[in-house]
Structure 1
Amino acid sequence: MKKLLLIALSAGCGAAWAQTPAANPMPDGSRDMYAGLGVQSAPRYAGASGRRLAALPVLQVEWSNGVFVSGMSAGIHLSSAPTVEFGPLLTVLPGRDEAGSGRGMDGVGITEAFNAASEPVEKNLLASRARLDGLDHIGLRVQAGGFANLYLTPRWRLGASLLGGSGRERDGARLELGVQRLAAPFGERHRVSLAAGITVVNRHDNQSYFGVSREEAARSRFAAYDAGGGLRDAHLGARWNWTLHPSWMLTSNLQVQRLLGSANRSPLAERSTNLTVSTAIAYRF
């Protein structure tokens, strides 16, 4: 059986480098593909106290020429060296609306759909869903850049990615640095991966997602706040893959994120530490 590819869940938090599957040499013209569906519980936005439950698509495809699609990321493995991986990377970053959640490609909100169908809607529910009322809407963004991974051992790797294109004016940039333990076996059917990392952003990115302009302060409940660049967060993650059948797998993910620096001091940050959990079933084609 081919090496088990790491499953990346779309809309998952965490380092972009951790979403790049390990290079998997295959016969020319072949591919390896997983697709499935699950559910994710996550904060409405980084630092939010409220949570949202969303349907979560799972998709991972890798072709023999090095091209891969992994969740909301796509890239190309350009290196042929066994201990080094690098190449271009594209990722989709969900938008943020007045409720603090993105729309469209970041998953279908189950709680939102239920509430929309329920009448009458309570006033306190409306208030909780519009926690960012008065702030500018940030649309979905496509980030472009590159990734690089260095294997310390066959199961341990250091990773980095640098991506630009986030924020209101698409002038934000993010650097992700981390370390990952790949697919430690527990019996014949279980694999666990561990990851830890940090996110460094420029001022434009941090101001877009954690700052409050004077214009926004005038029409919202928040005071004006300038968020500078620098270290934005540290995060820890664990992924458990359970092989139910040669073609079926249950994949579950847990991530803890701790806001730091200007992001943690922002009036938008209701909680310094957030937890994201998800589980999905995937079929291998």
Structure 2
Amino acid sequence: MLRLHPTLLCSGLLLMSAPLHAEDWQYQLSAGLANLPRYSGSDERVTTPLLDARLEIPQGFFLGIKDGLGWQYAQDGFGFSLHLGSSDRRKDSRSHFHGSDRLEGMGSIKQRGQLGIAASHDIGPVTLGASLEHALKKDSDRDTGSAYNLLELSLGGTLVEGAYGRLDASLSSRFGDDDYLRTWYGVSRVQASRSRFAAHDTDAGLVSSGAALSWTYPLDPNMDLVTALDVQHLMGDAADSPLTERRTQATLATQINYRF
């Protein structure tokens, strides 16, 4: 079903047109643009390129730039997948498509290995989805290098399908453990002493809730144009964090997927 990156990038929506289980070797190339906040909670925005390549084989294994190495299964309205990829990152300085100078002194959250598991089940026209992502420990820095977990629950389906393509919609909520909330939205006393922010303690709980729309338009039998809008509202300790300038976050993305 839908998998949205913690940065609110609409990657899951943009790949909804890809088959869940390949009957033959399949390749997909994707390219596009996304406009999104520089970090979760930021009032600054950035337009960034979207690039992905993905290989699927009949046994269910796949390899891609975005999702890494994994295995997927789909039959009779049930889907399941496992993957090993890389986590999100956040720089404490402005650099190309990442980071913000506003975060100076917070320390950078570096990319690390990430394990993911996802399942979906069709109930009539509606699909229930759940995904769990576990980012591995990066280093001994408790503020930025801890392992953490993020759970997403979603409910979605197709609203309209016809000559002008397919319109899909979903509702989702995300929940983080103590380490996730502390890493992305907390401010320790050490971070407060070297940044502009006051200390902010966090606990495990709801991170955000939101909705997404995705329009898929077939350009030819092997190529689709996909445009997606995702709106998430930060909740709880994430919303109350001094890092958060804007609680309601919107991401707009468009991408062409070519399969062969």
TM-score category, normalised to shorter length: 0.7 to 0.9
Distance 1:9 1:279 in 2: 15
Aligned pair in 2 of structure 1 residues 144, 129: CA closer, same or farther (>3 Å)?
A: closer
Instruction: Report the counterpart of residue 195 of structure 1 in structure 2.
Output: 170
> 1:72 corresponds to which letter in structure 2?
K
2:211 is equivalent to residue 211 of structure 1? no
Stretch deviating more after TM superposition (9-18 or 221-230) = 9-18
2:17 is equivalent to residue 24 of structure 1? no
Question: Any idea what the Cα deviations from partners look like across 1:7-36, whole Å, max 9, x if unmatched?
Answer: 98988737998768553351xxx2233213
Aligned pair in 2 of structure 1 residues 156, 210: CA closer, same or farther (>3 Å)?
A: same
Aligned with 2:72 (options 77, 80, 89): 77
Distance 1:173 1:10 in 2: 13
Aligned pair in 2 of structure 1 residues 76, 258: CA closer, same or farther (>3 Å)?
A: same
Shift of 1:257: 0.8
Distance 1:7 1:263 in 2: 22
Shift of 1:201: 0.5
CA contact (8 A) 2:223 2:259 kept: yes
> 1:218 corresponds to which letter in structure 2?
S
Distance 1:265 1:10 in 2: 21
Could you list the runs of 4 or more consecutive aligned residues of structure 1 that deviate by over 4 angstroms after TM superposition? Answer: 6-12, 14-22
Aligned pair in 2 of structure 1 residues 234, 279: CA closer, same or farther (>3 Å)?
A: same
2:117 is equivalent to residue 130 of structure 1? no
Instruction: Report the counterpart of residue 251 of structure 2 in structure 1.
Output: 276
Aligned with 2:153 (options 177, 182, 188): 177
Aligned with 1:157 (options 115, 127, 135): 127
TM-score, L = length of structure 1: 0.78
Shift of 1:69: 4.5
TM-score, L = length of structure 2: 0.85
Aligned with 1:246 (options 214, 221, 234): 221
CA contact (8 A) 2:31 2:49 kept: yes
Question: Any idea what the Cα deviations from partners look like across 1:33-57, whole Å, max 9, x if unmatched?
Answer: 3213111100001110000111111
2:20 is equivalent to residue 56 of structure 1? no
How many residue pairs get aligned? The number is 251
Aligned with 1:33 (options 27, 30, 38): 27
Structure 1 unaligned blocks of 5 or more? 1-5, 102-107, 113-127
Aligned pair in 2 of structure 1 residues 176, 59: CA closer, same or farther (>3 Å)?
A: same
CA contact (8 A) 1:202 1:230 kept: yes
Instruction: Report the counterpart of residue 228 of structure 1 in structure 2.
Output: 203
Shift of 1:282: 2.6
CA contact (8 A) 1:15 1:197 kept: no
Instruction: Report the counterpart of residue 114 of structure 2 in structure 1.
Output: 143
CA RMSD of aligned residues (A): 3.0
CA contact (8 A) 2:10 2:229 kept: no
Distance 2:167 2:7 in 1: 17
Question: Any idea what the Cα deviations from partners look like across 1:184-231, whole Å, max 9, x if unmatched?
Answer: 4132x4112211110010010100010011111111100011111100
Shift of 1:96: 0.6
Instruction: Report the counterpart of residue 13 of structure 1 in structure 2.
Output: 8
Instruction: Report the counterpart of residue 118 of structure 1 in structure 2.
Output: none
Instruction: Report the counterpart of residue 45 of structure 1 in structure 2.
Output: 39
CA contact (8 A) 1:10 1:58 kept: no
Determine what percentage of the aligned residue pairs are the same residue: 27
SS in 1 for 2:207: strand
> 1:82 corresponds to which letter in structure 2?
D
CA contact (8 A) 2:2 2:12 kept: no
Aligned pair in 2 of structure 1 residues 69, 93: CA closer, same or farther (>3 Å)?
A: same
Instruction: Report the counterpart of residue 255 of structure 1 in structure 2.
Output: 230
